[in-house]
A and B are shown apart, each in its own frame.
Chain A
Amino acid sequence: MILTETSIWWILLAIFIMSLAVWFIHYYFRDRDKRKLMFAIAFLLAGVTYIYLAIDYRNIQNESILWSNIYHWSMFPIMITLLFAVCTSLFKTKNLNLMFRIFLVILAILFISVFLPFSIAEISAIGRQFIGIAVIITSGYLFIKSRDLSSLIFLMAMICFTTSGISLVRDMDYFSILLYLLAHIFLTLIFVVAPSHSESENLGISSYFSLTNQLKTAKRALHESEERYKRIVENTSDAIMLTQPNGVVSYMSPACKNVLGYAPEDLVGKVPNIFHPDDTKKVNETLSQALNDKHGSDLEYRIKTKNGETKWVSHSWSPMLKDGKLQIIVSSVRDITDRKKMEEKIAEKVKILEDSELATLNIMDDLQETIASLEKAEREIKELNEGLEQRVKKRTAEVEKLLHQKDEFVNQLGHDLKNPLGPLINLLPLIEEQETNPESKEMFEVINRNVNYMKNLVTKTMQLARLNAPSTELSVEGVTLLDEINKVIERSKLLFEENNIKVESGINKDIMVKADKLRLEELFDNLIGNSVKYSPNGGNITIDAKDDGKFVVVFVKDEGTGMTSEQLEHIFEEFYKADESRHDFNSSGLGLSICKRIVEKHGGKIWAESEGEGKGTTMLFTIPTSNKKTSRTDRNSKRN
């Protein structure tokens, strides 16, 4: 080992360079920037070279091939590093990890060459010169292209390196040391300068060195990403909440105001107590359980807003763990009041439906009961009806029997009454004729009058009884109405004359009716007799008929006393007289009852009309119309 006068400067240079290497290593650990590690290694090995030079290796170069080779090897890394720098800048490669690995591999391969059994001095020198020239040309190109400061500095560093190498060969040690120093300072300077002014990645060598720029870009990207997340967090309708393990809220997104009804500043830095009293226990239990188990979950509960409103929220959270320890809890809280209200409404509706279903079932039960009781009632009514029907039948039969007995009785009575009347009617006039005593004559007159009245009564009663008897049948035939009327009028002529009554008949001679001739005459006898009875002396009786197709309506109109509406109602009842107590020898009180029975037996109806007392009465009845053909068939069918 030979120390020369320049040794101390070489050592100082080595120490400075290694210090720079240490500085790079420090920044490598700070930034994890592989380039800095690359430079640190290169600088360290460069330091080794300077130590070789310090001990004046050039003069002891024949001592050992290994030693020599290490010296030549140690000079390579800085050249490779510089080559990488220009290559990277040229090709804009950014994969620093890959570069670093290639760098290490090259370094390792070169290191193996150290152990070759021959000196690599010649090859190393040629290689270094070749690389040096290439780097100088490239960096010159980069500088011309970019004209930026870092490219210039790099170029200068390269020139320094090359020049110092040449100086070293020429034994210009001081100059060489200075140039090496400058070269290293320039290289280091690029790391400081490059990022500060190179904004574009296209710019020269700075694209390799502008780590800060990349950091800036990364930071900007990070910031943008953060902003994006922040925007998302702050604009989402759910409230995003960060909670510390002790329950204190460290962040609350603005949506909190809408969701929880509190401003974020109301909750941040506090342990929130906003839960609905009924839900507090449930929330605390679930939350603490979930945090103990360190898993996320979700829960729906009610809260009380700042102004006392109750709200439903859905709270889902997930704990953030680091090394198994709870760091922070990220929560998302959503307002689900509307949903809950809807759910409640639906539940209500469902309940109503269920209730109504139940009610329907009850109603169905009731209905069934009602139906059962109705059916029972119906059965009972049916039974009752059957009983009633039977009773009615029985009673009707009884009544019919009684009526029959009555008719029999009346018939018998009439017949029996007629017998004793015979001698009275026939013999009394004979005795009356023989009697000369005026007093006796007077008595006979009274007796005669009353006997005739009685005869009349008996006759009419028997007529009525006969008509009432169901067994009595009419002998119906086609009858010319006018003929029958005229017969009666003819017969009653004397009666009309006595009372000075004029009878007018406007009946069409073509009108035919289906009737029993004798009964029809009886009917007219009674009606006309009645009209005469109630007509004033000199009055008119009008008889007319109208054929309406099916029935003939017959009118017998008088100008007599007329009737009240009450009398009109009752005149067809048996023994009814317009004046109840009127004792009239010509009136039995049965005439109109007989008329009614006759008309009804013919299938017609009879009624009376009067505008009131003193305004005359019209008796009306209907009787079926006939043409001769049908009347004959009728008669034939009767006979059959």
Chain B
Amino acid sequence: MKKIMIVDDESDQIYVIKKSLEKAGGKYEIIPANSGAQCLEFLEKNQIPDLIILDIMMPEMSGWIVFDKLKGNNTWEKIPIIFLTARTDKIAENAGGFLGNDFIEKPFDTKDLKSRIDKVLKDTNQK
């Protein structure tokens, strides 16, 4: 079962994504992380997910910082990342957009979310 880490400071958002994916028939193991710091903590404890869904607007450590840290680590850089944000304009502002493997705009469509996740996972496997 694929492991997906969802990094979002709002527990409600993690809950909604988790429930949505379950109802859409997705068989994933969800690792919730309430902050960027927690995300990195899990990674250091070798809880390496197959995919990270990363919220950008988070207090203290924004999604961008987490992204930079991941890409600066030999082991973690290969983990595919899907940005999750309510403000797509911010994605465009930062490094021309596609820094991650994909991005999903809030509010999201459950089917769309699942198909994107599956696609990214599939692409990663092929590599």
Is the beta-carbon distance between B15 and A446 smaller than 8 angstroms?
Answer: yes
Residue A580 CB within 8 A of the other chain: yes
Is the beta-carbon distance between B59 and A582 smaller than 8 angstroms?
Answer: yes
Residue B40 CB within 8 A of the other chain: no
Chain A residues contacting B21 (CB-CB under 8 Å) are none
- Of all chain B residues, which has the CB nearest A439? B19
Is the beta-carbon distance between A449 and B59 smaller than 8 angstroms?
Answer: no
**Smallest distance from the beta carbon of B31 to chain A beta carbons, Å?**
19
Given A443-B19, A581-B62, residue A450 in contact with residue B12 (CB < 8 A)? yes
Residue B16 CB within 8 A of the other chain: yes
> Of the candidates B10, B16, B62, which one forms a contact with A583 in the assembled complex, judged by CB atoms under 8 Å apart?
B10
Residue A579 CB within 8 A of the other chain: yes
Chain A residues contacting B15 (CB-CB under 8 Å) are 442, 446
Is the beta-carbon distance between B58 and A446 smaller than 8 angstroms?
Answer: no
Q: Which of A545-594 contact B (CB under 8 A)?
A: 579-583
Is the beta-carbon distance between B58 and A449 smaller than 8 angstroms?
Answer: no
Is the beta-carbon distance between B59 and A579 smaller than 8 angstroms?
Answer: yes
> Of the candidates B9, B12, B60, B62, which one forms a contact with A449 in the assembled complex, judged by CB atoms under 8 Å apart?
B12
> Of the candidates B12, B19, B58, which one forms a contact with A581 in the assembled complex, judged by CB atoms under 8 Å apart?
B58
Is the beta-carbon distance between A581 and B16 smaller than 8 angstroms?
Answer: no
Chain A residues contacting B59 (CB-CB under 8 Å) are 579-582
**Smallest distance from the beta carbon of B93 to chain A beta carbons, Å?**
14
Residue B57 CB within 8 A of the other chain: yes
- Of all chain A residues, which has the CB nearest B57? A581
- Of all chain B residues, which has the CB nearest A450? B12
**Smallest distance from the beta carbon of A439 to chain B beta carbons, Å?**
8
Q: Which of A429-471 contact B (CB under 8 A)?
A: 442-443, 446, 449-450
**Smallest distance from the beta carbon of B42 to chain A beta carbons, Å?**
20
Chain B residues contacting A580 (CB-CB under 8 Å) are 57, 59
* Complex CA–CA separation, A443 to B19 (angstroms): 9
Q: Count A interface residues, CB 8 Å.
A: 10
Q: Which of A17-62 contact B (CB under 8 A)?
A: none
Given A579-B59, A581-B59, residue A446 in contact with residue B16 (CB < 8 A)? yes
Chain B residues contacting A449 (CB-CB under 8 Å) are 12
Chain B residues contacting A450 (CB-CB under 8 Å) are 12
**Smallest distance from the beta carbon of B62 to chain A beta carbons, Å?**
7
Q: Count B interface residues, CB 8 Å.
A: 11
Chain A residues contacting B58 (CB-CB under 8 Å) are 581
* Complex CA–CA separation, A411 to B12 (angstroms): 29
Bitwise interface map of B from 6 to 50 toward A, beta carbon under 8 Å scored 1, else 0? 000110100110010000000000000000000000000000000
Chain B residues contacting A443 (CB-CB under 8 Å) are 19
Is the beta-carbon distance between B9 and A583 smaller than 8 angstroms?
Answer: yes
* Complex CA–CA separation, A579 to B59 (angstroms): 7
- Of all chain A residues, which has the CB nearest B15? A446
- Of all chain A residues, which has the CB nearest B63? A581
- Of all chain B residues, which has the CB nearest A453? B12
* Complex CA–CA separation, A442 to B14 (angstroms): 13
* Complex CA–CA separation, A459 to B27 (angstroms): 40
* Complex CA–CA separation, A97 to B58 (angstroms): 152
**Smallest distance from the beta carbon of A447 to chain B beta carbons, Å?**
9
* Complex CA–CA separation, A583 to B13 (angstroms): 11
- Of all chain A residues, which has the CB nearest B61? A581
Bitwise interface map of B from 57 to 84 toward A, beta carbon under 8 Å scored 1, else 0? 1111010000000000000000000000
- Of all chain A residues, which has the CB nearest B19? A443
- Of all chain A residues, which has the CB nearest B9? A583
Chain A residues contacting B19 (CB-CB under 8 Å) are 443
Chain B residues contacting A583 (CB-CB under 8 Å) are 9-10
**Smallest distance from the beta carbon of A168 to chain B beta carbons, Å?**
174
* Complex CA–CA separation, A450 to B19 (angstroms): 16
**Smallest distance from the beta carbon of A450 to chain B beta carbons, Å?**
6
* Complex CA–CA separation, A450 to B12 (angstroms): 9
Chain B residues contacting A442 (CB-CB under 8 Å) are 15
**Smallest distance from the beta carbon of B91 to chain A beta carbons, Å?**
15
Chain B residues contacting A579 (CB-CB under 8 Å) are 59-60
Chain A residues contacting B62 (CB-CB under 8 Å) are 581
Most chain A Cβ neighbours within 10 Å, of B12, B15, B19, B58: B12
Chain A residues contacting B12 (CB-CB under 8 Å) are 446, 449-450
**Smallest distance from the beta carbon of B124 to chain A beta carbons, Å?**
28
**Smallest distance from the beta carbon of A563 to chain B beta carbons, Å?**
15
Chain A residues contacting B9 (CB-CB under 8 Å) are 581-583
Chain A residues contacting B60 (CB-CB under 8 Å) are 579
Given contacts A581-B59, A582-B59, 9 further A-B contacts (CB under 8 A): A442-B15, A443-B19, A446-B12, A446-B15, A450-B12, A580-B57, A581-B62, A582-B9, A583-B10
A interface with B by C-beta (< 8 Å):
442-443, 446, 449-450, 579-583
20 example contacts (A-B, Cβ-Cβ < 8 A) are as follows A442-B15, A443-B19, A446-B12, A446-B15, A446-B16, A449-B12, A450-B12, A579-B59, A579-B60, A580-B57, A580-B59, A581-B9, A581-B57, A581-B58, A581-B59, A581-B62, A582-B9, A582-B59, A583-B9, A583-B10
